[in-house]
């Protein structure tokens, strides 16, 4: 299993392999004891923060995806501007087909709602649900409240 997370202590991104029994930050030395699942079981909670809410997503850089969509829009718009609607449709269909192929072949990863730690090469990911906006909003509001407590306590 591969893990990528922002360290709770120094906030630097840490990447590592197989967090067996201990998750640690290579920059500041922060550590957390874990109870890693058996090799054939999926994660039931985040190894970094202990949150039991995880979601499954495709392992693809979203910024690259938005850039690719932008290129498709730009190219089809240029084709329409030159009075070639057939070419514009072909461009859009080609980008749609490429998106479908990427969706079919890319692996999944797990993401923690609370700390956004990412886990790759985890078995049985299909048992984990996909993104739920309601759960995400609950954790987003929790983070806002914690930040407000910290700022009001230090004033």
Per-position pLDDT tens, the chain of length 155: 899 999 999 999 999 886 667 888 988 989 988 876 656 677 889 999 999 999 999 999 989 999 999 999 999 999 999 999 999 999 999 999 999 999 999 999 999 999 999 999 988 888 899 999 999 999 999 999 999 998 887 65
In contact, 116 and 136? CB cutoff 8 Å: no
Kindly state whether residues 84 and 147 are assigned to the same domain.
Answer: no
Instruction: Examine the domain organization and report whether 39 and 82 are in the same domain.
Output: no
Query: Are 45 and 7 part of one and the same domain?
Result: yes
Number of neighbouring beta carbons within 10 Å of residue 16: 14
Work out how many domains the chain is built from and give that number: 2
SS3 79: helix
Residue-range definition of the domain harbouring residue 16: 2-58+108-153
Residue with tokens 């690259």, as numbered in its chain: 64
- Judgement on whether residues 9 and 52 belong to the same structural domain of the protein: yes
**Do both 54 and 67 map to the same domain?**
no
Mark whether 112 and 149 lie in a shared domain. yes
36 and 112 housed in the same domain: yes
Smallest CA-to-CA distance from 30 within 115, 112, 110, 111 is with: 115
Asked if 50 and 66 sit in the same domain, the reply is: no
CA dihedral sign of residues 4, 61, 135, 105: negative
């Amino acid at each position: 299993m591969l893990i990528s997370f922002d360290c709770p202590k120094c906030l630097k991104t840490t990447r590592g392999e197989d967090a067996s029994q201990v998750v640690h930050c290579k920059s500041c030395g922060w550590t957390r004891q874990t109870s890693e699942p058996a090799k054939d079981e999926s994660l039931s909670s985040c190894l970094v923060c202990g949150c039991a809410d995880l979601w499954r997503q495709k392992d693809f850089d979203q910024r690259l995806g938005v850039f690719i969509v932008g290129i498709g829009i730009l190219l089809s718009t240029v084709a329409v501007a030159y009075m070639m609607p057939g070419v514009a449709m072909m461009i859009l269909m080609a980008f749609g087909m490429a998106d479908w192929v990427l969706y079919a072949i890319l692996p999944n990863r797990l993401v923690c709602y609370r700390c956004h730690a990412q886990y790759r090469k985890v078995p049985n990911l299909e048992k984990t649900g996909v993104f739920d906006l309601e759960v995400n909003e609950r954790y987003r509001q929790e983070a806002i409240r914690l930040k407000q407590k910290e700022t009001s306590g230090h004033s």
